[in-house]
Amino acid sequence: MTDLLAARAQMAFSLGFHMIFAALGIGLPLFMALAEGLWLRTGRPEYLALAKRWSKATGVLFAIGAVSGTALSFELGLLWPRFMAFAGPMIGPAFALEGYAFFLEAIFLGLYLYAWERLRPVVHWLCGVVVALSGMASGILVVSANAWMQHPVGFRLVNGQAVDADPVRALFNPAWAVMAVHSTLSTLIATAFATAAVYAFGYLRGRRGEGQRRALRLAMSVGAIAAVLQPISGHFNAHYVSRHQPTKLAAMEAQFRTERGAPLRIGGWPNVERGEVHYVLEIPKGLSLLAYSDPDAVVRGLEAFPREDWPNVPLTHLSFQVMVGIGLFLIALSAVFWLVMRRRRGDPPVLLSWALVASGPLAFVALEAGWIVTEVGRQPWIIRGVMRTHEAVTPAPGVMVTFVAFVALYSLLTLALVWLLLRLSSQPAIPEAAAQEAQHGSDPS
């Protein structure tokens, strides 16, 4: 394995694991705040029990995510020093602001976890709201740096060096908005369906209390809203990619030839050597319509670009198909769930519960597939159109050593997270009487 391949594999492995920690760390504080808000509104002790349990899980995820994110920051400097030297003036402010969001989240999470009996109920709930908002802000600011890599602005290129850096313009780069919305929705979808999967599995194991039902309904409410909004976000994302990253669009859709009224492909396996797609279902003019809002628009194929600028077409196309396919499944599952539960006030049917259990890991597969499309589709550029990935890798030897070390680190973090979450899930729910007397007193107002 070459140093370049080892460095790319290490970043892929680290980011793949960190994405799980980050998604749960962004989504779960929202659930925590929603549960306590519903308790304040309704006085139902089940919501308070959920808020307490989810706050503990949020604390665990915050700690694990902090270690994971710190490791990633070291990797950027160790593996890609030329990239950091070039891009630092432009993406540095995004990471600096993310640090402020991180510390804000840490402060208010501490207040939320340890001030249950010391703050007024509404003030305590507002601390949870700040935790949720600062967690989302942290993710959005990190996405700004990645978006800049997709659409680099805010500098002039002179003899291979960035001069006249404008960090504000770089921060608010054209790709940021569409990527931030799409990414944030994906974290909420993953967290919502993972939560629903946990409680659906509990139902199948015989846990059928009112708290179980309310947790499932809350998770599916957030999941359904986010899943429906995601295709709208994806549509705007496709418009952006079609105009600014046509090579990525061509790889996503396995569009080898420039074509007017290009079809939308469902499934299929790209044959790069022959420029064909096998085993595919095509919707006539679908891609032109979705990408350009014109069924007769011309879509540039991969043939319009130098071969050395092509990303990995099979991986990009397959990942895109997986992401879209799972997304449609989650939308359909949400619709079925609410139609069934509207007619059935009790527990969900067994078959529906198993579908919900499956939706948890599938939602994270879709999350990972989406980021594969984003990152692999940008290749061979680390900064699109400016710096190729092989130009940014460290010249120092021994990348395989750090690769093995980071694999071990993230494996240990994953085992620690699973063990801690299993410990939390095995604890009995707060009894209703105790919940009513907990922290805020028997009257939530």
DSSP β-bridge partners for residue 259: 299
- Comparing 106-120, 257-271, 358-372, 392-406, the range with the smallest average pLDDT is 392-406
Q: Which amino acid is at 217?
A: R
Strands (E), 353-430: 381-383, 387-388
The residue with greater pLDDT, 197 or 444, is 197
Residue 296 contacts residue 260 (beta carbons within 8 Å): yes
> Does pLDDT of 440 surpass 70?
no
Mean pLDDT for the stretch of residues 152-171: 88
Residue 193 contacts residue 23 (beta carbons within 8 Å): no
Nearest Cα residue to 385 out of 152, 164, 179: 152
312-328 tens-digit pLDDT: 999 999 999 999 999 99
> Does pLDDT of 98 surpass 50?
yes
Q: Is the peptide bond before 295 cis (omega within 30 degrees of 0)?
A: no
301-311 tens-digit pLDDT: 999 999 999 99
Query: Which tokens hold the place of 227?
Result: 């899943």
- Comparing 26-40, 405-419, 427-441, the range with the smallest average pLDDT is 427-441
> Does pLDDT of 445 surpass 60?
no
Distances (CA, A) of 417 to 17, 32, 37, 421: 11, 18, 27, 6
% the chain with pLDDT above 70: 94
- Comparing 65-79, 82-96, 145-159, 376-390, the range with the smallest average pLDDT is 65-79
261-307 tens-digit pLDDT: 889 999 889 999 888 889 889 899 989 988 888 898 999 999 999 99
Long-range contacts of 396-403 (CB under 8 A, 24+ apart): 397/3, 399/3, 399/6, 399/7, 399/10, 399/79, 400/1, 400/3, 400/6, 402/10, 402/75, 402/78, 402/79, 403/6, 403/7, 403/9, 403/10, 403/13
Mean pLDDT for the stretch of residues 26-50: 92
**What does pLDDT average to over the chain?**
87
pLDDT tier for residue 15 given thresholds of 50, 70 and 90: confident
- Is the pTM here over 0.75, yes or no? yes
Residue 46 contacts residue 214 (beta carbons within 8 Å): yes
Q: Which amino acid is at 214?
A: R
DSSP category for residue 431: P
d(CA 195, CA 214): 12
Task: Calculate helix-pair angle for 176-204, 210-244, nearest 10 degrees.
Answer: 150
Task: Calculate helix-pair angle for 45-79, 210-244, nearest 10 degrees.
Answer: 30
